[in-house]
């Protein structure tokens, strides 16, 4: 059973975690006719406060949350046209922590799609607003606590669709023996050595 954790990284971090086994992305039309995919668990966590404190709390929470996770995906941090240095540092820092936790857990490199790709997949438009993302959840019969959770659910479903279409092939799914395996450095022969 392969478990995927999808993160909508921000001060209010949406997350969705669940097994991808047997999951098939459903359209709102299929959901309306009774075809519904099982919803992964999740919600939203807030990481407010001074930068260092927020980063430390996020790292601790993510380490606990990735226990038993096989794959990680998070939205590529895209900055609004007008933003502050603190926002840039916060978003990039959270993304860096997610990549580090994935590495330390022995997970493959996380999938980090552009927000427009996820919006197009989930709501039909790369320019979908937050309300459109929440509506797309409800149209599929899924519930979300807020727009951050809706974005995480959309990313979770998008990632499953990418794997099913063969567009993302994380090595741990296809070669489990290599995960966490020790890799020896190549030996270099020195001049004059026998």
d(CA 61, CA 149): 16
* Strand-pair category, 3-8 with 71-74: parallel
Range of the domain at 15: 3-178
Q: Is residue 91 part of a domain?
A: yes
Within a 13 Å sphere around the CA of 159, how many CA atoms are in the beta-carbon half?
31
> Which two tokens mark 192?
């004059």
Tell me whether residue 55 is in a domain.
yes
pTM (2 decimals)?
Answer: 0.81
| One pLDDT digit (tens) per residue for the chain, 194 residues | 899 999 999 999 999 999 998 776 555 555 555 555 678 899 999 999 999 999 999 999 999 999 999 999 999 987 667 788 888 899 999 999 999 999 999 999 999 999 999 999 999 999 999 999 999 999 988 999 999 999 999 999 999 999 888 888 776 444 333 344 443 333 444 555 55
86: domain CATH number is: 3.30.420.10
- Cβ atoms 79, 88 nearer than 8 A: yes
| 40 assigned to some structural domain | yes
143 within some domain: yes
Convert the pLDDT of each residue in 146-180 to its tens digit.
999 999 999 999 999 998 888 887 764 443 333 44
Identify whether 184 is part of a domain: no
* The total number of structural domains that make up the chain: 1
Residue 182: the pLDDT is 40
What is the rounded CA–CA span in Å between residue 111 and residue 163? 10
Sheet of 12-19: strand order equals 41-46, 12-19, 3-8, 71-74
User: Which pLDDT score, from 0 to 100, does residue 172 have?
Assistant: 47
pLDDT number for residue 31: 52
Q: Is residue 192 part of a domain?
A: no
As a dihedral over the C-alpha atoms of residue 8, residue 11, residue 12, residue 14, rounded to 10 degrees, the angle is: 20
Residue 185 included in any domain: no
189: exposed, middle or buried (C-beta count within 10 Å: 0-12, 13-18, 19+)?
Answer: exposed
Beta carbons of 90 and 9 less than 8 angstroms apart: no
Does 190 fall in a domain? no
């Amino acid at each position: 059973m392969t478990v995927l954790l999808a993160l909508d990284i921000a001060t209010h971090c949406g997350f969705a975690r669940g097994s991808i086994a047997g999951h098939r992305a459903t359209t709102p039309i299929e959901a309306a006719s009774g075809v519904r995919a099982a919803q992964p668990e999740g919600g939203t966590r807030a990481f407010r406060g001074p930068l260092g404190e927020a980063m430390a709390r996020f790292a601790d929470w993510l380490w606990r949350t990735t226990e038993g996770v096989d794959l990680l995906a998070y939205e590529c941090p895209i900055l609004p046209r007008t933003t502050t240095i603190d926002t840039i540092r916060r978003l990039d820092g959270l993304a860096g922590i997610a990549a580090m936790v994935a590495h330390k857990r022995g997970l493959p490199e996380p999938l980090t799609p552009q927000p427009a790709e996820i919006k197009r997949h989930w709501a039909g438009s790369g320019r979908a607003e937050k309300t459109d993302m929440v509506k797309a959840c409800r149209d599929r019969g899924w519930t979300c606590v807020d727009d951050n959770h809706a974005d995480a659910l959309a990313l979770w479903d998008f990632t499953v669709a990418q794997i099913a279409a063969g567009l993302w092939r994380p090595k741990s799914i296809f070669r489990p023996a290599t995960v966490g395996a020790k890799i020896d450095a190549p030996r270099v022969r020195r001049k004059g050595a026998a």
